[in-house]
Structure 1
Amino acid sequence: MNIDYLINITIPMLEGAKMTVLLFFIAIILSIPLGFVFTLMAISKNIVVASIAKGYIYVMRGTPLLLQLLFLAFGLPMIPVVGEYIVMDRFVAASLGFTLNYAAYFAEIFRGGLLAIAKGQYEAAQVLGFSKFQTTTKIILPQMFRIALPAVSNESITLIKDTALLYAVAVPELLHFAQTAVNRDFTIIPFFIAGLIFLIMTLVLTGFFKWLESKLKFE
């Protein structure tokens, strides 16, 4: 096993890692605000709105992400009559699947953050003359985000690892190139390199969230 071989198999995997990172950013940027919308719906006093949100969260958290990806990538086109009109690019289908799935998890995280805030905070804001909008944006949301940040951090790290599921819907990402090298060269070295790349990505992500937690702690 020489250096040239390691370089030759690592370069394609790094190209695949670009797809991994792209999916991560798309999913995290879209799922966090969508999750917060579902949180607001779930705690709504409107029974219909709350039931829709709770039902959505239950279904998305109660079924495997892999099943959801397979349904979006391969199942939707098989629906009678309308199937041919909702065929998506595999990467688009995967991005949609990850966004919808993780939005449900973030919704529960944010709901937990809101429930952790004492009711006295709302009453104190009302006494001080804050409007409902000011109370929400200046008092409630900052506290909710601080409370939810550790859970958001853990979920984000899980997301970066779950991107390996792109392999199941035929999107050429990091694991795809690792498996190709293993099958071609009959060696498990590519798996170790793929694992190392994932460890580096999670290390960077962990460091970012630790820095963010320390910043918010003193604000």
Structure 2
Amino acid sequence: MLSMLVSGYGTSIVIFALTLLGAVPLGILVALGRLSRFRPLAILMGLYISVMRGTPLMLQMFAVFFLPYYGFGLQTGPDFMFTACIVAFVVNYAAYFAEIYRSGIQSIPRGQYEAAEVLGYSRGQTFVRIVLPQMVKRILPAMGNEVVTLVKDTSLAFSIGVSEMFTVGRALVASQRSMLPFAIAAGIYWLTCLAIEFMLRRAEKRLDYYHD
């Protein structure tokens, strides 16, 4: 039982890691687009964020999974289930991360931008050297909440047939007629969230030299 759950947990961690790998940088691009002075781009990014945040992640997974066939008549193999899962998770979480980034960027006092301009920094240099470090410190608690939520949301992958830990646990409960697999899975999710929270607290302490 434990070995089967651990195998499913490995899939859950891969979903978690690939989602962060894709959503964290994509969220930055979406946030910058949302703050762009080019109005059509800002409106488009705002619409994207609204749709992603306003519809269920499970529905988005179904949409990505069935789109190739119903939208373009393309046949997909069993491996596409995992690909569709990752794509849906990335585009969903990028929208949430983008709003967190946007609030962090807008929380930086305007005077710091003006001071950087006086010192001869370009807009890119200002963002990377001045805005970004302060933004990271300010958004870390909110980002931490989303990352912890992501750990638990990996269980939604079962809806399109991805065999992660919750799927394995559910199958074990049905076959063994025992709630023990669910209890073990819950403990693993909880310990994972505790580990992430510990790492985030360490990161917050290391960023204490940035004072508001």
Instruction: List, as ranges, runs of 4+ consecutive aligned residues in structure 1 with deviation greater than 3 Å.
Output: 85-88
By how many angstroms is 1:136 displaced? 1.4
By how many angstroms is 1:149 displaced? 1.1
Name the CA distance, whole Å, in 1 between partners of 2:127 and 2:60: 34
By how many angstroms is 1:10 displaced? 1.1
Aligned twin of 2:44: 52
By how many angstroms is 1:134 displaced? 2.1
- Corresponding letter in the other structure for 2:29: V
Q: Per-residue CA shift, 1:111-131, capped at 9, x if unaligned?
A: 000111110111111222323
Aligned twin of 2:126: 135
Aligned twin of 2:2: 10
Gaps of 5+ in 2: none
Name the CA distance, whole Å, in 2 between partners of 1:128 and 1:64: 46
Name the CA distance, whole Å, in 2 between partners of 1:195 and 1:185: 17
Alignment of 1:217 with 2:208, yes or no, is: yes
Q: Per-residue CA shift, 1:19-66, capped at 9, x if unaligned?
A: 000010000011011011011111111111111101100100000001
Aligned twin of 1:69: 61
Name the CA distance, whole Å, in 2 between partners of 1:135 and 1:116: 15
TM-score using structure 2 length: 0.94
Tell me the matched-pair count: 209
Alignment of 1:147 with 2:153, yes or no, is: no
TM-score using structure 1 length: 0.91
Q: Per-residue CA shift, 1:66-120, capped at 9, x if unaligned?
A: 10011112344222xx131677610110000000000000000000001111101
Gaps of 5+ in 1: 1-8
Structure number with larger C-alpha Rg:
1
Q: Judging changes above 3 Å, is the alpha-carbon distance between structure 1 residues 86 and 145 closer, same or farther for their aligned structure 2 residues? A: farther
Q: Judging changes above 3 Å, is the alpha-carbon distance between structure 1 residues 144 and 95 closer, same or farther for their aligned structure 2 residues? A: same
8 A contact 2:8–2:165 mirrored in 1? yes
8 A contact 2:68–2:75 mirrored in 1? no
